[in-house]
Structure 1
Amino acid sequence: MKYFIGIIALLWMVSYTKAQSYEDKRCKCICPSISSVTNRTETADTSRILYIANVPPNLCNCVGVILPRIGEGIAGKEQEFCPRCECKYENRNTTIIKVVVIIVIWVISILVIYMAFLIILDPLLNKRIKGSYQEHTNEEDEISAGPMSHNMSVRGNVLNRVGHQQDKWKRQVKEQRRNIYDRHTMLN
């Protein structure tokens, strides 16, 4: 239990420090290279530059985000540069995103642990009890007294009971396959 609390605390600290570098509300502008406006005689650069700023929605435009950063680089050409910029205001909830990611990681971790448990448990389940073994085709035979009554008492622990259920299920699947493929009938 203390490992669980420790992991949660670690994840919270990591997410808290990362949250300072990512904002929930931001303005994202994609603009052409400055050289596309300043150098008309040379080959125009077709690359685009991404600008991200934390500004209010009414300032999410070229004037509010781009010009304060590169205004002197395009002095006098703002009217030519700004219409080429695409600005979008994004509002997202990073807390929900973090919670969903943590839940997905926990589910995957639990499934991996369960798979490892089954892989370790499989050799123990597949060990057969030494002695005579008789395959039974229905449950009434298992209840009746006979050679299996001794084996049922030996199978008192949980692993053996799970193995017994697994064997029973395998027999049922085998019978069902035989009925479907050989006799073309369904089991009830």
Structure 2
Amino acid sequence: MSLKVTWTLVAAAASLFVRDAAQAKSFEDVRCKCICPPYRNITGHIYNRNVSQKDCNCLHVVEPMPVPGHDVEAYCLLCECKYEERSSNTIKVTIIIYLSVVGALLLYMLFLLLVDPLIRKHDPYTQPLHNEEDAEEMRPQVDSGQGRGNTVLERVEGAQQRWKKQVQEQRKTVFDRHKMLS
């Protein structure tokens, strides 16, 4: 089910992408950015304008010109103009892929939250224990010869129990050595 929903989301995003590609002219992927520092009594300012790369200079980008005609050349020498390009289509595709992956992971998490209680088998013979060490000793060992451990969940659970047991043994070893040294 989650795979079907994921593909539906991808198809919807792709249709939006195709529709937006037809309207690509409305997105400005190129610009000239001029950063002009303060000059005499004029504060600094950043100017952006969509012009070609050859027209990326102060005279074509800075409008209205904040200085009178005889100071234009001095003012433009202080301005730093850079031509910038970006690909809005690449940005859109990246965001669509990212959101699709996050959505698929969320759906998978919800699936596991709903199905996990149904998959886990509760043993009515074990009582809840308050001590972690006693819980490790009383837990039945998973034996592959009994037919258990076939599902991924049971294998992960078994690996988790082995890891917890190793950590518990390491703690005991460290505390025993600490007691011996002091």
Which residues of structure 1 form unaligned runs of 5+?
Answer: 38-43
- The question of 1:85 aligning with 2:89 is answered no
Shift of 1:85: 1.6
The question of whether the paired residues in 2 share the 8 Å contact of 1:15 and 1:98 is answered with no
- The match for 2:59 among 56, 59, 63 is 63
SS in 2 for 1:95: helix
TM-score by length of 1: 0.63
- The match for 1:5 among 3, 11, 22 is 11
* C-alpha distance 30-164 of structure 1, shift in aligned 2 (>3 A): same
* AA of the residue aligned to 2:75: F
Shift of 1:47: 3.9
* Aligned pairs, number: 158
* C-alpha distance 6-53 of structure 1, shift in aligned 2 (>3 A): closer
- The question of 1:30 aligning with 2:35 is answered yes
TM-score by length of 2: 0.65
- Identical amino acids, percent of aligned pairs: 25
* Deviation larger for 72-81 or 93-102: 72-81
2:177 matched to which residue of 1? none
Shift of 1:87: 0.5
Which residues of structure 2 form unaligned runs of 5+?
Answer: 128-137, 175-182
The question of whether the paired residues in 2 share the 8 Å contact of 1:60 and 1:87 is answered with yes
* AA of the residue aligned to 1:92: R
Post-superposition Cα deviations, 1:22-71, rounded to whole Å, max 9, x if no partner, equal 22x322112357xx56xxxxxx343413222222x2221112322xx325
Aligned equivalents of 1:7 and 1:99: distance in 2?
9
Aligned equivalents of 1:121 and 1:132: distance in 2?
23
